[in-house]
Amino acid sequence: MIVTNTETVAGYEITELLGLVQGNTVRAKNVGRDIMAGLKNLAGGELKGYTELLTESRQEALTRMIAQAEQLGANAIVNVRFTTSSVTSGASELYAYGTAVKVSNSGSEAV
């Protein structure tokens, strides 16, 4: 599966537009991470617990989006974007979306 944040895939032609695909996950903060983040705020520096949480969230949302595109028969997703929103105090949603397409390599069969 080709996944890109551009509108096209270099060296490929979009042969079929299959529609919007999306994946999301809602994650809650961990009390242990909150305590460590509070201490880190005093000293400054990276909040590694939150970095890990966001990395895991992005991967889960991306995996779900790709699965949806595969169900549609896509071999690429273009114009991919990520967004976040607060669901409730201490919990946030990470949402990935893009356009599922079929591409072919310079006039040859679909990849």
Domain boundaries, the chain: 2-105
The count of other CB atoms within 10 Å of the CB of residue 59 is: 13
Distance, first Cα to last Cα, the chain:
9
The pLDDT of residue 42 is 58
Distances (CA, A) of 16 to 8, 26, 63, 68, 98: 12, 31, 22, 16, 14
pLDDT at 98: 98
The topology (CATH level 3) of 2-105 is Translation Initiation Factor IF3 (3.30.110)
What is the amino acid identity at position 85?
Answer: S
pTM above 0.85, yes or no: no
Of the candidate ranges 9-13, 24-28, 39-43, 68-72, the one whose mean pLDDT is the lowest: 39-43
